[in-house]
């Protein structure tokens, strides 16, 4: 009896061990490195978007790789790229060599991501960019496909497309000003932070505005991305008689600018890119002075696809703020999941081939990669949106009858009352 009891225990132990062994094998996680400046809003967006997606995927059983279900394990990689590019390099190296991540998502500053991208390519790791806009990141894929094919950019749309949306927003506001205020020729002041990603937009604006849009450029100002005071620039813009100030900001200068613009009631409508104005904290940080700021954005509480509003609402419920474009890590993990499941493996080359075939409806729109592995922009694809601060809320004001596109829930653009008052004939 004793012998049979002992044998039973041994058998049970073996069975459990084997069972557990199988379970551990089934549960072997796929490691995703989430790279971003984690102490800053952009990094928080990366992490929040990724955790939301990972929780959803894991609670649904994980990712099917061949015959097994594997959960996702996120590795938080603080790149600190706002303050130090070498920190970003070290963090990415560590993600590859120490944490041994299988895939990477995130990145924010182009200057840092260019280096992070090289580290990922050396390790042949798929890296889905969700933050840096410079075209060079994808041009590299076309120039040297074998080396850079592991790179994909999901958010934001690249700075050339951002420029296009920018110009559309500018044209839209210009048309409203002409119609409502009876202005004939519009004067535009260009203000853009001195950063690599903004250079192509400034060059295009200086050329396109007078040649193709019939607008006069009264000057171009390039403050530092971290300038703490824009009063001189604003005084000069007002002195130049600008009707519109065309903004290109991704750093703290956007907040300084918007706050002082509203405080001094500069009679020029602020239109363009202002990443700070995409954040929920913008209203409190500007003391409400940033009202009427119009910016290109990735998300708005409108029905871009069926996934957008549920994503937007859940994000606000969980993190108490609106998602900014770095929260594109949410869609990135779903695209990866689909590609891995189609490939039946996590081997980079096979997943790349499947990623290239992506055609999915994500929270940001219909997501398709072009030949340079950049997200496709256009009326039938990802469009981006134009959002304006109205009475303490972020409202989607574009697309509004653009190429047949108006997202359900959009509101009309509102001209700042002091601008209308100043220019009314």
Residues in contact with another protein by CB under 8 A are: 37, 39-41, 44, 82-83, 193-194, 219-224, 226-229, 231-233, 235-236, 238-239, 252, 255-256, 259-260, 263-266, 276, 281, 284-287
Residue (237 or 302) nearer to another protein, CB: 237
Per DSSP, the residues of 213-260 read S--EEEEEE---TT-S--HHHHHHHHHTT-SEEEEEE-STHHHHHHHH
CB of 199 to another protein, least distance (A): 11
CB of 231 to another protein, least distance (A): 6
CB of 42 to another protein, least distance (A): 9
* Partners of 231 in beta bridges: none
Residue 106 makes CB contacts below 8 A (sequence gap 6+) with 33, 34, 35, 36, 43, 46, 50, 77, 79, 129, 130, 131, 326, 329
Q: What's the CA gap between 320 and 76, in Å, rounded?
A: 20
Q: What's the CA gap between 32 and 297, in Å, rounded?
A: 26
CB of 148 to another protein, least distance (A): 30
Q: What's the CA gap between 423 and 404, in Å, rounded?
A: 31
Q: What's the CA gap between 406 and 413, in Å, rounded?
A: 13
Q: Using alpha carbons, select from 222, 285, 224 the residue that is nearest to residue 251.
A: 224
Residue (264 or 420) nearer to another protein, CB: 264
CB of 423 to another protein, least distance (A): 16
Residue (62 or 267) nearer to another protein, CB: 267
Residue (40 or 167) nearer to another protein, CB: 40
CB of 45 to another protein, least distance (A): 12
Residue (2 or 228) nearer to another protein, CB: 228
Pairing of strands 63-65, 68-70: antiparallel
Residue (295 or 358) nearer to another protein, CB: 295
Tell me if the bond preceding 371 is cis, omega within 30° of 0.
Answer: no
């Amino acid at each position: 009896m004793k012998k049979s009891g002992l044998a039973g225990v041994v058998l049970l132990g073996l069975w459990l061990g084997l069972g557990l062994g199988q379970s551990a094998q089934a549960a072997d996680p796929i490691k995703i490195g989430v790279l971003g400046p984690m102490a800053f809003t952009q990094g928080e967006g990366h992490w929040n978007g990724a955790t939301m997606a990972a929780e959803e995927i894991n609670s649904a059983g994980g990712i099917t790789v061949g015959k097994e279900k594997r959960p996702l394990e996120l590795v938080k990689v603080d790149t600190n790229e706002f303050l130090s590019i070498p920190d970003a390099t070290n963090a990415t190296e560590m993600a590859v060599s120490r944490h041994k991540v299988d895939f990477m998502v995130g990145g924010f500053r182009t200057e840092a991501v260019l280096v992070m991208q090289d580290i990922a390519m050396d390790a042949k790791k798929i890296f889905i960019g969700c933050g840096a806009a410079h075209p060079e990141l994808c041009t590299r894929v076309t120039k040297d496909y074998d080396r850079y094919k592991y790179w994909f950019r999901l958010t934001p749309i690249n700075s050339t497309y951002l420029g296009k949306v920018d110009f559309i927003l500018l044209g839209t506001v210009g048309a409203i000003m002409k119609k409502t205020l009876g202005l004939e020729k519009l004067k535009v002041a260009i203000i853009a932070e001195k950063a690599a990603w903004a250079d192509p937009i400034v060059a295009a604006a200086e050329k396109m505005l007078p040649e193709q849009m019939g607008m006069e450029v009264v000057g171009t100002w390039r403050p530092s991305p971290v300038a703490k005071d824009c009063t001189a620039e604003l005084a000069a813009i007002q002195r130049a008689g600008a009707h519109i100030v065309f903004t290109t900001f991704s750093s703290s200068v956007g907040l300084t600018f918007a706050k002082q613009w509203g405080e001094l009631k500069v009679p020029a409508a602020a239109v363009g890119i202002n990443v700070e104005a995409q954040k929920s904290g913008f209203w409190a940080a500007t003391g409400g002075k940033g009202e009427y700021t119009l910016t290109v954005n990735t998300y708005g509480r409108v029905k871009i696809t069926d996934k957008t509003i549920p994503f937007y609402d859940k994000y606000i419920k969980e993190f108490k703020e609106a998602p900014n474009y770095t929260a594109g890590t949410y869609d990135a993990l779903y695209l990866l999941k689909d590609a891995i499941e189609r490939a039946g493996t996590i081997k980079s080359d096979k997943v790349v081939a499947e990623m290239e075939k992506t055609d999915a409806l994500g929270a940001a729109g219909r997501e398709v990669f072009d030949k340079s592995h950049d997200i496709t922009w256009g009326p039938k694809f990802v469009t981006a949106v134009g959002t304006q601060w109205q009475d303490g809320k972020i409202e989607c004001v574009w697309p509004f009858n653009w190429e047949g596109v108006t997202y359900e829930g959009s509101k009309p653009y509102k001209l700042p009352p002091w601008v209308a008052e100043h220019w009314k004939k």
